[in-house]
Amino acid sequence: MYAFSYHSPKTVRQAATLLGKNPDAKVLAGGQTLLPTMKQRLASPSALIDLGKAEGLSGIEVKGRNVVIGAMTRHADVASSAIVGEAIPALAALAGGIGDPAVRNRGTIGGSLANNDPAADYPSAVLALNATIITNKRKIPADEFFQGMFSTALEEGEVIVKVSFPIPSKAAYEKFPNPASRYAMVGVFVAKKGSETRVAVTGAGSDGVFRSAECEAALKARFNPKSLDGVKVKAAGLNSDIHASSEYRAHLIPVIAKRAVAKAMAK
């Protein structure tokens, strides 16, 4: 790890000011991604702006027909939240399946989304549930937020403040883990709200999370696992590594989607 300066602002506004003043600064949330990369000397921010003490960044509430989760809310808190468990149980289950207990007790939803790891779980929920990312500057719809792996619509000095999830009528997340890291190798979040069904896939795309047009089309008429029988997903544009070829990932997407739909219907 290289040397850096450390700041602990009390408000998001102060955090944004500090970001403006320190060109190579990074905000620090749970540190579960940022600190390991710094230890490996792959990242060398000049300053860390710790959001841990900034007011108003954590907590979960229902606002109208949405569940709103503060950016600094830990995975463990989402997993065990009665509010989330009641309104969007699929989201609580997803949070409970991230990493291990240590990771879940430190890692945050804001950090996970800002990082946009192509195998992270949360991006699939945000995309399938058609959530809105609320920053210190604006509101970003899910469809515009994710811009390829490790890249998002966030601009310099922009901090995620909260995420607003519309409550779906049916939803479920099914994760097929990478055997080594247990990140998603293919993770599928399905959500039905009114007449719209959205299917978001993480872990598989070489450009990060994406919506599966094939699966969405198949489920449009009828939200039922059987609707996915025979659905073929193209291998082009999918990741290939020692754990899974792109053909295997393509095969898994409808298989896992089917399991997610079955799970959503069981609830």
Ligand X SMILES: Cc1cc2nc3c(=O)[nH]c(=O)nc-3n(C[C@H](O)[C@H](O)[C@H](O)COP(=O)(O)OP(=O)(O)OC[C@H]3O[C@@H](n4cnc5c(N)ncnc54)[C@H](O)[C@@H]3O)c2cc1C
For residues 159-198, which are near ligand X according to CB under 6 A?
159-160, 182-183
Return the DSSP state at 81.
-
Structure token pair of residue 132: 């809105």
Q: Establish if 31 lies at the interface with ligand X (CB under 6 A).
A: yes
Binding partner of residue 251 among other proteins, ligand X, none, CB cut-off 5 to 8 Å per kind = other proteins
**Distance between CA atoms of residues 253 and 153, nearest Å:** 26
Binding partner of residue 244 among other proteins, ligand X, none, CB cut-off 5 to 8 Å per kind = other proteins
Closest CA to 51 of 91, 9, 92: 9
Q: Establish if 203 lies at the interface with ligand X (CB under 6 A).
A: no
**What x/- string results for residues 6 through 45 when contact with other proteins is judged by CB under 8 A?**
-----------------------------------x----
Q: Site for ligand X (CB under 6 A): which residue of 7, 16, 33, 146?
A: 33
Give whichever of 99 and 166 is closer to ligand X, judged by the CB atom: 99
Quick one: 24 exposed, middle or buried, by C-beta within 10 A (0-12, 13-18, 19+)? exposed
Q: Site for other proteins (CB under 8 A): which residue of 99, 167, 251, 265?
A: 251
Binding partner of residue 160 among ligand X, other proteins, none, CB cut-off 5 to 8 Å per kind = ligand X
Binding partner of residue 120 among other proteins, ligand X, none, CB cut-off 5 to 8 Å per kind = ligand X
3-state SS string over 92-106? HHHHHCCCCHHHHHH
- Binding part of the chain for other proteins, among 43-51, 81-89, 158-166, 173-181 by CB under 8 A, reads 173-181
CB 17, min distance to ligand X, A? 15
Q: Establish if 4 lies at the interface with other proteins (CB under 8 A).
A: no
CB 48 within 8 A of CB 36: no
Closest CA to 187 of 210, 164, 168: 210
Q: Establish if 16 lies at the interface with ligand X (CB under 6 A).
A: no
3-state SS string over 40-79? CCCCCCCEEEEHHHCCCCCCEEEECCEEEEECCCEHHHHH
What is the SS3 assignment for 4? coil
Give whichever of 113 and 218 is closer to ligand X, judged by the CB atom: 113
Binding partner of residue 27 among ligand X, other proteins, none, CB cut-off 5 to 8 Å per kind = ligand X
Binding partner of residue 46 among other proteins, ligand X, none, CB cut-off 5 to 8 Å per kind = none
Q: Establish if 58 lies at the interface with ligand X (CB under 6 A).
A: no
Please report, for residues 59, 211, 217, the alpha-carbon distance to residue 220 in angstroms, rounded to integers and kept in the order given.
34, 14, 5
**Distance between CA atoms of residues 52 and 67, nearest Å:** 22
Residues binding other proteins: what is the number (CB under 8 A)?
Answer: 14
Q: Site for other proteins (CB under 8 A): which residue of 105, 243, 262, 265?
A: 243
**CB-side exposure of 3: number of CA atoms within 13 Å?**
0
